[in-house]
Structure 1
Amino acid sequence: ARFSVIRYFASEVQNAYGPNVHDPRSGEILESHIGWYHNVMRLLKNWYTTQTAAVDESARQNVFDDELMGQLVRFVASHEVGHTLGLRHNFGASNATPVEKLRDPQWLAENNHTSSIMDYARFNYVAQPGDGVTNLMPGIGAYDRWAIEWNYKPIYGTNSPEEDKKILNQWYLDKAAGNQALYFLTEASTYDPRAQNEDLGDNSMVASEYGIENLKRILPNAVNWTKEEAKHYEMAEELYDNVFAQYRRYMGHVTKWVGGIFETPKTYDQDGVVYEPAPAQMQHDAVAFLHRQLFREPTWLLDQEITQKIKADRGVNMIGSLQSSIINSLYGTARLQRLIEAGSAFPDAYDLADFYSDMQRGIWAEANSGAATTVFRRNLQKIHLEKLITLLKPANGSSPGSSTFFRATASVNPVVTDISSLTRGTLKELHDTLAKAAKRAPDKLTRYHYEDCMHRIEEALDMED
């Protein structure tokens, strides 16, 4: 290929990509050909509506005007050009921005809402109505300018690659070391909560609270903003599904903080540690957020004025499936082992016992308070109980998980760790709690539910009558 081009594909695929052809001997980029699938515009439309319609009236329509869509296209094209120049995704860039600054118009005008367009930061879903924020799209940021300078600025007066390397390292130490806006965090990290896609700000719990408040403003308008004469409710259903998908992303962002490990790459001539547990308070806050926003059924998602027009079911299975997914993730053996490791190495760390206690107290709150249960809460409690039983007695043929901490990767068999002991003790305590709760249950279905759960625990623990 002789020419660098943008290739357009008349396709339903919702994507774009930015490769290059380079000389492996020198790194010289010979050619690039950004691929642009037509339906990426539909993806951009859905993202922008779901993330910004609470504050931007132009996002409240089925078809965007050319000016708005042009800005969205430019954003994606800029990201892909970054790839053609050799830049990787930098999923840590958005973490450099304090959450409250995402509501500050002056700060955003000077800094953008992420320090790199190579992050998957998308659009500013944190800004609230009344903040006066109009700069909702990412732009080329401090990290991007620094990365291009480091990669492409000519170095004169040297005679070997080794001499160049020393100068490049000094540039990094002088300018980037200690400046979080210039940090790079890989897209491959499975355990650093600062390195996530689709997130904003330095605190996922606070950012997601703001995001949910905006989703609550958008959802009641799903029909009014999408209606067309003599048309069915397909567009309203698509908006609803995208609102739920965005809500689901927030739950994932928060979940990653539990058992999270910060990995800050350093060289020998830099001070400080490379690996450390995420702050204990942040992990407590993450579990509290999940109790508040997911495990207590999110009734705002079940607005009958909307759902009766677009869905046959009433949302019980939809909410239960998400709760199950998050609980399975929270109780993954790799995450639990990281909590054990953190507790063994750091006295003030959020450890396995803290996590079990926080989860038990929130999920089984009605058993302690004597309050009635709802179908959502009963389903949630059964999901939680079954996960604990599975940890205690893994199914035949199931594979142990793997844990990564301090660059050590090993299989995790819960049966030979504190996971088994704490799970067994938790089930015994829960059985005692349910026995008392069943006697004072406020309704028959709640009592039957507790008795059912007690029976499952008795079978799992081989308890005698």
Structure 2
Amino acid sequence: MDYARFNYIAQPEDKGVALFPNIGIYDKYAISWGYRPILDKSAKAEKDILNSWILEHAGDPMYRFGHQQVGDVVDPSSQTEDLGDDAILASAYGIKNLKRIVPKLIEWTTKDGYDYKDLKNMYGHVISQFNRYMGHVSNNIGGVYEDYKTADQEGAVYTHVDKAHQKNCLSFINKQLFNTPEWLIDTNIFNKIEYSGSVERVRSMQARTLNNILSLGKMARMIENESLNGNNAYTLTEMMRDLRNGIWSELNTGINIDTYRRNLQRAYIDRLEYLMTAETPKSPSSNSSYNKFTPVNTSQSDIRAVVRAELNTLKRLINSRLGGRDSMSRIHLKDAVERINIILDPQ
């Protein structure tokens, strides 16, 4: 079962696809299970029949129901506003559609005698939708599938997301978001809706997803995954290396670092600073099953040790690759080293 307001993966060449939600297989199944009469049976016999109806469709994703999750998204296969069983593929299709929309926004939202209020509003919705795609993908990193079962059903209830898929999700984020999404930077739109804000908007989008990836819960689950599954796990150290190689790729290529990337790199350092001092999170006061919470003692887990190692590695890389850049790139990199020094040796 999927929940989304519209079919964002549909492409112009697709034929016969529904663009908006209809009554589907799961809806009919749920209605039948809840309201279909079971006559002349005892309460126990009725329960056995109801259970048999569930078991008939066990393992079929069309009949699966997953909890909505509040706070930390643990199970990436049960997210609101997403479609399909592959967040990378679905989000790639969604981004293709957004790229078709942006060049047409002025034409579609304006008319003579009216201002650009609708243009500003709809551009904001494009940003929001893009953020949803980044969330759908990034929540696979450190994710754990939750497949409800009764004791008479075989298989695990909780399964860590496959290593290769987690790694591919981070690669997707690096490519689609951390590499500046220039298709969203349209000066012809900006000069009609705002006097400033475009640079800050990109920084905010990138920092939001970065902070989601580097959340205490996700990092704790990655540590536990490695302890349980060894080489089959996408480890925290491997993820941090892949993240650094994406966000700080200019250290390997030698090219100059532009405004958007400088902001992202500072956001990265700021997040590592937070992780070095973050207090142990408190469990939510509500006992609702919608609330997902991963317990972790931040001072005694591997999180701070891994973050400290990353800061030292990044510092060495920057110091060894300062040359051959424009003035602003050198200023930025020297500032980054000073920021790292303060984090590692606070006075």
Q: TM-score range by the shorter chain?
A: over 0.9
Residue 393 of structure 1: aligned partner: 277
Distance 1:453 1:225 in 2: 43
Residue 63 of structure 2: aligned partner: 182
Q: Say whether 1:213 aligns with 2:92.
A: no
Q: How many corresponding residue pairs?
A: 338
Q: Say whether 1:297 aligns with 2:160.
A: no
User: Mind listing any 5+ residue stretches in structure 2 that lack a counterpart?
Assistant: 285-290
User: Mind listing any 5+ residue stretches in structure 1 that lack a counterpart?
Assistant: 1-92, 95-118
Residue 79 of structure 2: aligned partner: 196
The one-letter amino acid paired with 1:177 is: A
| Match of residue 245, structure 1, among 110, 113, 128 | 128
Residue 371 of structure 1: aligned partner: 255
The one-letter amino acid paired with 2:330 is: R
The Cα offsets for residues 60-102 of structure 1, whole Å up to 9 and x where unpaired, read as xxxxxxxxxxxxxxxxxxxxxxxxxxxxxxxxx12xxxxxxxx
Q: Say whether 1:163 aligns with 2:7.
A: no
Most deviating of 426-435 and 313-322: 313-322
**Contact kept in structure 2, 1:401 and 1:413, CA below 8 Å:** no
Q: How far does residue 134 in structure 1 lie from its aligned partner after superposition? A: 4.7
Distance 1:312 1:134 in 2: 41
Residue 35 of structure 2: aligned partner: 152
Distance 1:426 1:345 in 2: 24
The one-letter amino acid paired with 2:233 is: A
**Contact kept in structure 1, 2:6 and 2:20, CA below 8 Å:** yes
| Match of residue 107, structure 2, among 208, 224, 229 | 224
Distance 1:390 1:312 in 2: 32
The one-letter amino acid paired with 1:194 is: S
The Cα offsets for residues 119-166 of structure 1, whole Å up to 9 and x where unpaired, read as 3x121111112223452111111111111111111112313x222111
Distance 2:292 2:327 in 1: 51
Residue 224 of structure 2: aligned partner: 341
Distance 2:346 2:7 in 1: 53
| Match of residue 238, structure 2, among 335, 338, 354 | 354
The one-letter amino acid paired with 1:275 is: Y
The one-letter amino acid paired with 1:148 is: I
Residue 327 of structure 2: aligned partner: 444
The one-letter amino acid paired with 2:28 is: R
Q: How far does residue 235 in structure 1 lie from its aligned partner after superposition? A: 1.3
Residue 454 of structure 1: aligned partner: 337
Change in 2 beyond 3 A, CA 1:231/1:260: same
SS in 2 for 1:262: strand
The Cα offsets for residues 168-194 of structure 1, whole Å up to 9 and x where unpaired, read as 112221x22122111111113631001
Q: How far does residue 437 in structure 1 lie from its aligned partner after superposition? A: 1.5
Q: Say whether 1:416 aligns with 2:300.
A: yes
Q: Say whether 1:309 aligns with 2:192.
A: yes
SS in 2 for 1:416: coil
The Cα offsets for residues 304-352 of structure 1, whole Å up to 9 and x where unpaired, read as 1121111212511011111111112111111110111111111202121
**Contact kept in structure 2, 1:333 and 1:402, CA below 8 Å:** no
Distance 1:372 1:356 in 2: 23
Residue 287 of structure 2: aligned partner: none
SS in 2 for 1:195: coil
The one-letter amino acid paired with 2:261 is: R
Distance 1:188 1:446 in 2: 41
Q: Say whether 1:380 aligns with 2:264.
A: yes
Residue 171 of structure 2: aligned partner: 288
SS in 2 for 1:222: helix
**Contact kept in structure 1, 2:222 and 2:235, CA below 8 Å:** yes
Residue 10 of structure 2: aligned partner: 127
**Contact kept in structure 2, 1:302 and 1:314, CA below 8 Å:** no
Distance 1:411 1:201 in 2: 30
Instruction: Choose 1 or 2 for highest CA Rg.
Output: 1
Distance 1:418 1:212 in 2: 36
Q: Say whether 1:428 aligns with 2:315.
A: no
Distance 1:457 1:311 in 2: 35
Residue 36 of structure 1: aligned partner: none
Residue 139 of structure 2: aligned partner: 256
Distance 2:206 2:106 in 1: 27
**Contact kept in structure 1, 2:174 and 2:247, CA below 8 Å:** yes
Identity across matched positions, percent: 37
Q: How far does residue 296 in structure 1 lie from its aligned partner after superposition? A: 0.9
Greater RCO (Cα-Cα under 8 Å, separation 6 or more): 2
1:18-37 map, 5 Å: none
The one-letter amino acid paired with 1:187 is: Q
**Contact kept in structure 1, 2:69 and 2:292, CA below 8 Å:** no
**Contact kept in structure 2, 1:262 and 1:275, CA below 8 Å:** yes
Distance 2:69 2:159 in 1: 18
**How much is the aligned-residue C-alpha RMSD, in angstroms?**
2.0
